[in-house]
Amino acid sequence: MEEPNDLRSAPLPPIGAADHLRGDAAWPLLIVYADFTCPRCALAHERLRAKPLRIAFRHFAIAAKHPRAVPLACAAEAAGAQGRFWEFHDALFEDPAHTDDPHLWEHAKKLGLDLERFELDRRTEEVAGLVRAQTRGGMRGGVAVTPTLVLEDGTISPGPPEPGLIEGLTK
Amino acid sequence: MSVIEAGSEIPDFTLQTEDGEQFGKQDLLGQTSVLVFYPFAFSPVCNDQLTLYEEVLDEFTERGATLYAISTDARWSQAAFKEKLGSTVRQLSDFEPKGAMAKSFGVLHEGGFTQRALVIVGPDGVVKWSYQAPSPGELPGPNLIFDGLDAAAA
């Protein structure tokens, strides 16, 4: 993924190969900028789960906000390299009190990941660059808080989705 | 009341630093300053705002800009807020008399606290760019400041 070389305003990147997508392709698309250390993101995850929406997840990991933000994002990408991004994503949001490395190893083991590869992958420059690029791409597009939802029409909605928003998207 | 506009010379003012020293207009001259007015120390959006700016602070510095965080909180509260966030942006208190500087910059909310606003001041003490969030609960992303620095340099 090309990394933005500045932080001036720019349109949010279109859906691309680095995006993780879940849900039927016919369902309304919702891009979710989130951070695995963020309680409001866990709430958004809970509210959006099982809804008929095609979710695209993007990292908005701010190291200055939480020291585990970037490591957790990188760990999810490493799980994704073994085809288990969403399962790892769910595990992080559903067990928010356990975010240290041993907890990540437990999640990885439960998902049947190759732990040695997981450990190598989550520390690569490529993975760090992807997380950084998604975060900075979000910043350029006006994302400033987590979670931030981006609707198909380009509307940016900061904060966990209210029921009315979800109903409007899924009706 | 609306935020001071580009082209205006900034008024004289006196704020207090975290150490209790006075800080005024003269301290901004000769550099490009970004004044970050925020409503309340420890409030959720202000937490997010200052940590987000901290994340890219090196890049503001590379652009030759120095950030200052300004609110009507007492300096003791600001110091605790800064420590809690792990922020390195210098805090300036507009507490005594409360809101006097914010009022002169057009960013004093009728509730007696600072609006969420950004003002870029050039080395000559003239406002180069300014922005006030539509509501205190809305967080202006750092992209707006970088856009503002472009406008200031034009």
Q: DSSP label at A3?
A: P
- Per-residue pLDDT averaged across A32-56, rounded? 96
Q: Which residues of A touch B55 (CB under 8 A)?
A: 62-65
The answer, yes or no, to whether residue B131 has pLDDT greater than 80, is yes
Per the structure block, which two tokens stand in for B6? 């580009």
Q: What is the pLDDT of residue A5?
A: 67
Please give the ipTM for the structure prediction.
Answer: 0.91
**Phi, psi dihedral angles at A170 (to 5 degrees):** -105, -5
Contact A64 B139 (CB under 8 A): no
Nearest chain A residue to B141, by CA = A144
Q: Is A142 left (phi over 0), alpha (psi -120 to 50) or beta?
A: left
- Per-residue pLDDT averaged across B102-124, rounded? 97
Q: What is the pLDDT of residue B44?
A: 92
Q: What is the pLDDT of residue A50?
A: 87
Q: What is the pLDDT of residue B43?
A: 94
The rounded mean pLDDT for chain A is 94
- Per-residue pLDDT averaged across B16-27, rounded? 96
What does the alpha-carbon distance between residue B128 and residue B154 come to, in Å, rounded to a whole number? 9
For residue A2, name the pLDDT band (cuts at 50, 70, 90): very low
The rounded mean pLDDT for chain B is 96
For residue A89, name the pLDDT band (cuts at 50, 70, 90): very high
For residue B87, name the pLDDT band (cuts at 50, 70, 90): very high
- Per-residue pLDDT averaged across A126-143, rounded? 97
Please state the pTM of the whole predicted model: 0.93
Contact A64 B51 (CB under 8 A): yes
Q: What is the pLDDT of residue A1?
A: 45
Q: What is the pLDDT of residue B50?
A: 97
The answer, yes or no, to whether residue A86 has pLDDT greater than 90, is yes
- Per-residue pLDDT averaged across A150-170, rounded? 90
The answer, yes or no, to whether residue B6 has pLDDT greater than 50, is yes
Q: What is the pLDDT of residue A169?
A: 85
Contact B141 A139 (CB under 8 A): yes
Strand partners, B121: B33, B127
- Per-residue pLDDT averaged across A4-18, rounded? 90
For residue A154, name the pLDDT band (cuts at 50, 70, 90): very high
Interface test with B, best of A3, A5, A7, A62 (most B CBs within 10 A): A7
Q: Which residues of B touch A8 (CB under 8 A)?
A: 143, 146-147, 150
Burial of residue A53 (number of CB atoms within 10 Å: 0-12, 13-18, 19+): buried
- Per-residue pLDDT averaged across A113-129, rounded? 98
Give percent of chain A above pLDDT 70: 97
Contact A8 B49 (CB under 8 A): no
Choice between A50 and A73, residue whose per-residue pLDDT is larger: A73
For residue B114, name the pLDDT band (cuts at 50, 70, 90): very high
The answer, yes or no, to whether residue A64 has pLDDT greater than 70, is yes
Long-range contacts made by residues A42-45, C-beta under 8 angstroms, separation at least 24?
A42/A93, A42/A94, A42/A96, A43/A160, A44/A147, A44/A149, A44/A160, A44/A161, A45/A89, A45/A90, A45/A93, A45/A94
- Per-residue pLDDT averaged across B23-47, rounded? 97
- Per-residue pLDDT averaged across A134-147, rounded? 97
Helical (H) or strand (E) element with B93? strand B90-93
